[in-house]
């Protein structure tokens, strides 16, 4: 599905926007097609809101855009992690969110971890830090990437690599522009050899070889030969793949279960998948039957029984808006939520909205973020500059303050009652 971009900046928003986030936003805008997680960076977003690696380019089908994107990321990767430790949303791009009850915070320019009572349990000592997943968290020291365990002990020594969070016991590693996988002790179990790769899911990971995508197992054996123009992960037994400009779904033998008929296709979630036909998003079941007719500009995957959708802005209105240069057409049309039958259960009223997580969803009105429950009632009215998903009962929020000529982000955490567990701090 199509996704938006929300980024938490530290310490200087103005600098970050000019150096990193402005080009990132432009790449994001060009990369968004139909929608999967609004993403996943965090396909990959962890509990802190930090992207596990840049996701939008992976969703894009234009190779030049992906090369530009990853070239930029490679040059600025340590800076990127520092700036985005609490940001770039993507909701469900990556693995299932986990935090082990530990959340990254920054004190006196060093990163450590608090528990869900707001108590510091790992002393701030790292230059940058991400959230925990599968008992490991990425940390950065002097620009080098390593991993710690839940006690704060460094279990994988910082080194000059780009690495992501663990999924099913393995994390992908990028070195010398090649992708491989290491285990939780830092052992390279699948050497860096692929042109591209992604998380393991249901025992398989998509990899690219000579411009074609296939799937490997945890031993590095090619289970489904590279043959697709593009592919995404397996979810609920099926993986979306693209060939000849059309998307369909394969099973773990590589055979098509749903023929490639769609302009775009998302992963399955709760038995349904978002697809795109003629620029409109709808939903199919696992037989390929359309159960919710394509009618939305944008759409998220189903989460906790509902899906965020944006009411379509018709072609005539789009043309008028473009001719009048009224800004991005994406600013017109409102978001709401539907149930599995396609019925609107929360009226389209938000400028942007993300999937539900632990009973709450973050929504945006007039450039401010807040949280609603399943009845559409506010937990916290829109007041934050950045808001991230709830994980283990906590959600990371950011408030921007103008200090002289700079804008500084204060980051905090709220609980499920909407109260601060960690007051926003610089």
CA–CA distance, 274 with 272 (Å, rounded to integer): 7
Low pLDDT (below 70) residues in the chain:
1-99, 313-332
CB proximity list for 219: less than 8 A, separation 6 or greater: 189, 190
CA–CA distance, 62 with 211 (Å, rounded to integer): 12
271 sits in which H/E element: none
Dmax (CA) of the chain: 60
CA–CA distance, 195 with 180 (Å, rounded to integer): 9
Asked if 326 and 339 touch (Cβ cutoff 8 Å), the reply is no
CA–CA distance, 147 with 136 (Å, rounded to integer): 6
- Per-residue pLDDT, 100: 85
Closest listed residue to residue 56, CA positions, set 39, 73, 70, 72: 39
What DSSP line would sit under 320-336, residue for residue? Answer: HHHHTT-S-GGGSS-EE
CA–CA distance, 325 with 319 (Å, rounded to integer): 10
pTM: 0.76
- Per-residue pLDDT, 353: 96
Buried b / exposed e across 391-425, counting CB within 10 Å, b at 16+? Answer: bbebbbbbeeeeeeeebbbebbbbbeeeeebbebe
Quick one: how far is CA 16 from the chain centroid?
A: 19
Asked if 236 and 204 touch (Cβ cutoff 8 Å), the reply is no
- DSSP 8-state class, residue 51: B
The encoded tokens of residue 38 equal 């609004």
CA–CA distance, 47 with 345 (Å, rounded to integer): 27
pLDDT digit string, tens, across residues 235-257: 999 999 999 999 999 999 999 99
- Per-residue pLDDT, 318: 60
- Per-residue pLDDT, 17: 34
Q: Which residues pair with 45 in a beta bridge?
A: 51
Asked if 375 and 363 touch (Cβ cutoff 8 Å), the reply is no
Closest listed residue to residue 44, CA positions, set 233, 250, 273, 207: 233
Asked if 82 and 12 touch (Cβ cutoff 8 Å), the reply is no
What DSSP line would sit under 358-419, residue for residue? Answer: TTBEEEEETTEEEEE-TTS-EEEEEEESEEEEEETTEEEEEEEEEETTEEEEEEEEEETTS-
Closest listed residue to residue 341, CA positions, set 376, 305, 316, 315: 305
- Per-residue pLDDT, 311: 85
Q: Where are the alpha helices (DSSP H) in 32-84?
A: 56-59, 63-84
The encoded tokens of residue 279 equal 């620029």
Q: Distance between terminal CA atoms of the chain? A: 34
Quick one: how far is CA 94 from the chain centroid?
A: 6
- Per-residue pLDDT, 383: 97
What DSSP line would sit under 164-202, residue for residue? Answer: ---BTTBEEEEETTEEEEE-TTS-EEEEEEESEE---BT
pLDDT digit string, tens, across residues 134-180: 999 999 999 999 999 999 999 999 999 899 999 999 999 999 999 99
Closest listed residue to residue 123, CA positions, set 148, 98, 155: 148
Q: Which residues pair with 113 in a beta bridge?
A: 104, 122
């Amino acid at each position: 599905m199509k996704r938006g971009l929300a980024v938490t900046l530290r310490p200087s928003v103005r600098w970050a926007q000019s150096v990193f986030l402005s080009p990132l936003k432009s790449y994001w805008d060009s990369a968004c097609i139909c929608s999967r997680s609004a993403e996943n960076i965090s396909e990959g977003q962890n509990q802190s809101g930090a992207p596990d690696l840049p996701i939008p380019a992976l969703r894009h089908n234009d190779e030049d855009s992906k090369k530009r994107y990853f070239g930029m990321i490679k040059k600025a990767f340590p800076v990127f992690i520092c700036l985005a430790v609490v940001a770039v949303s993507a909701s469900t791009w990556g693995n299932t969110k986990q935090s082990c009850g530990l959340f990254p915070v920054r004190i006196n320019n060093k990163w450590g971890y608090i528990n869900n009572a707001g108590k510091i349990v790992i002393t701030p000592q790292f230059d940058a830090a991400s959230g925990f997943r599968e008992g490991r968290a990425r940390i950065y020291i002097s620009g080098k990437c390593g991993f710690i365990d839940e006690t704060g002990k460094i279990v994988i020594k910082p080194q000059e690599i780009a690495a992501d969070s663990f999924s099913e016991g393995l994390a992908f590693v990028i070195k010398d522009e090649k992708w491989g996988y290491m285990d939780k002790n830092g052992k390279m179990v699948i050497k860096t050899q692929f042109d591209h790769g992604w998380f393991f899911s249901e025992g398989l990971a998509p990899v690219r070889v000579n411009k074609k995508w296939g799937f490997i197992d945890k031993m590095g054996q090619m289970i489904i030969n590279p043959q697709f123009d593009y592919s995404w992960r397996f979810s609920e037994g099926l993986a979306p793949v693209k060939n000849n400009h059309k998307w369909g779904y394969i099973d773990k033998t590589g055979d098509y279960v749903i023929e490639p008929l769609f302009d775009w296709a998302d992963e399955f979630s709760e038995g349904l998948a978002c697809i795109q036909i003629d620029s409109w998003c709808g939903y199919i079941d696992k037989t390929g039957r359309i159960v919710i007719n394509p009618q939305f500009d944008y759409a998220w995957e189903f989460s906790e029984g509902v899906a965020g959708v944006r009411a379509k802005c018709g072609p005539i209105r789009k043309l008028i808006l473009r001719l009048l240069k009224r800004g991005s057409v994406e600013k017109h049309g409102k978001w709401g939520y539907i149930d599995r039958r396609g019925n609107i259960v929360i009226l389209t009223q938000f400028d942007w909205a993300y999937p539900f997580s632990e009973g709450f969803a973050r929504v945006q009105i007039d450039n401010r973020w807040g949280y609603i429950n399943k009845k559409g009632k506010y937990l916290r009215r829109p007041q934050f500059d950045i808001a991230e998903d709830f994980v283990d009962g906590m959600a990371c929020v950011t408030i921007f303050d103008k200090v002289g000529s700079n804008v500084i982000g204060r980051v905090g955490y709220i609980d499920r009652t909407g109260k601060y567990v960690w007051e926003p701090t610089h």
